Structures are given as structure tokens and as C-alpha cells.
Amino acid sequence: MTEHDPPTSTNPSEIEALIARLKHGSLNNQDTLLVERLLRLLLTLIRVVEQKNTSISRLKRLLFGPGTDKRTRATPATSSNTSSNDAPSTADEPSKPATPEARPTEARARRRGHGRQSATAYSGARRVVCADPEMAAGDECPHALCRGHLYDTKAPAVLIRLEGRPILSATRFEQQVLRCSACAERFTAPLPAGVEAQKYDPTADVAVALYKYGAGMPFYRQARLPAMCGVPMPESVQYERCVAVAARLSPGL
């Protein structure tokens, strides 16, 4: 059924004829205009109902005009405030739970993102720059049908990789020792560049002190955790390393 087809339940021609008879009848002008307006509204509603995409809100606007929900909600609130002089405690009760409900709604509206840490939050991460071994800036595009050239976007793709390690990690340096068969002189290979010939690195001393006095981890727990990972560190040695850190920070002690 199209928009111009007559509805099955009502014949529009009969309604139009009734409107014409009313115009020539004995009714006064106001009644005639009112009846005519209602009958034409009926015709409009019939056409609207025939459309499949008609919504209830559209029918409400045709029947009652634009809504006035805000003004109708404010009127009982005002009247309740003026009439609540005798019982102020009962009037305040419904308003109390409204405040906690509104605050979580505002908090949810302000909350954005997925709740994960951004790449910039890992300021202590070790930075490794990865370059393509086969392509570089200025090279031709690898696509056969493209004649363009590659350039650096200055916006690298960032991957944060977390690794689990004990409180202290140990590195075993095995220096090759050569010996002369005639004079029996021994020649030991040097350590890699930047590695000093000392057992305790300053970072190890600082880690022990931070776990003890910064995180509140006792020495016996610090000794147990590295020992499970193959790096023994007795409690007495941890105390000695903390004393060394304190001596570096306060030379007068």
C-alpha cells in the first residue's frame, strides 16, 4: 500500500464529503472549524500510520504538539519544596541518594581510554632503536608498480616488552688464561669495555637499599628471592652493602 492509496478501514472521500456538509450546515463558525480541524487530523494520522517508518514519538507530536517534559518535572519539585515546611526531614530523604548516583555517572562520563599504561609512562625502560636491515630512508618503494621513495615518518611503532628478573642478577665473566710453556707466564684476557673488576656493582647496592628501606622488604626475604633464581645474597652481605651506600651518601659517618 502506497502513501496515496486509500486506507482499508476509512474512506477519505466520505470524510471530505462530511467536511463539505458541515461547512454548509447550521453550525456556527467555531464549531465548524473545530470539526474540520479534527477530521483533517484524522486523515493525517491515517496517512502516517500507513507508513512503515512511523514512530510513536511522531504520533505523539501530531496529537499533543511538542513535549514539555522539563517544565512538568520542575513543577512538582517546586510544589514539594513549598509544601514541605511541616516535614523537612522527609523531603530531604529522596534527595540524598540522588547525589551518589549522579557522581558515578559523571565519573563514568569523564573516564576515557582502555585503562592501560601508555608507552610514555615507562620512563625507565631501556630504549632500543630497530632499523630495517633491507630498507632505509631514500630507497625506492619495494612495490613494483610504485615509483615513490621511502622517508622516515619520525613516528616509530612502539612495543613495550616486560621481562621478569630477580632483585639481583649476576653475570659470570670467564676470562681466557694463556700460559707460556717456557717461562710459565700467565696472560689473562681483559674484561669487556665498561666492566670494572669488582664484584658488587653500584646498582646492586642501591637495589638492596631501596628494597629494604624504600619498599620495606626484610633482608631475609631479599636473600630468599634471589637464591631461588641462583643468585645467593646473604643477609649479612646485604647489610654491609647498605652501609657502603650510606657511607657514599654521608661521608662524615
Q: What is the pLDDT of residue 122?
A: 83
The length of the chain in residues reads: 253
Mean pLDDT, residues 68-76: 51
- Residue 51 makes CB contacts below 8 A (sequence gap 6+) with 3
C-alpha cell at 231: 643468585
3-state SS assignment for residue 121: helix
Mean pLDDT, residues 180-209: 91
pTM: 0.43
Angle between the N-to-C axes of helices 56-64 and 29-50, in degrees from 0 to 180, rounded to the nearest 10: 170
Question: C-alpha angle 120/124/125, rounded to 5°?
Answer: 75
C-alpha cell at 245: 651506600
Tell me the pLDDT band of 160, cut-offs 50, 70 and 90: confident
Percent of the chain with pLDDT over 90: 21
Mean pLDDT, residues 97-113: 55
Mean pLDDT, residues 200-227: 91
Comparison of pLDDT for 122 and 243, the residue scoring more: 243
Instruction: Indicate the range of 3-7, 60-64, 118-122 predicted with least confidence.
Output: 3-7
Instruction: Indicate the range of 7-16, 46-55, 78-87, 161-170 predicted with least confidence.
Output: 78-87
Taking alpha carbons only, the member of 174, 173, 244 closest to residue 208 is 244
Q: What is the pLDDT of residue 226?
A: 85
Q: How distant, in Å, are the alpha carbons of 119, 141, 150, 151 from that of 144?
A: 35, 8, 14, 17
Q: What is the pLDDT of residue 105?
A: 57
What does the mean pLDDT of the chain come to? Answer: 75
Comparison of pLDDT for 64 and 140, the residue scoring more: 140
Can you list the alpha helix ranges (DSSP code H) found in the chain?
A: 12-23, 29-50, 56-64, 69-82, 88-92, 98-110, 202-209, 219-228, 235-249
Domain segments of the chain: what residues? 12-64, 199-253
3-state SS assignment for residue 244: helix
Q: Are strands 177-179 and 186-188 parallel, antiparallel or unpaired?
A: antiparallel
Q: What is the pLDDT of residue 209?
A: 92
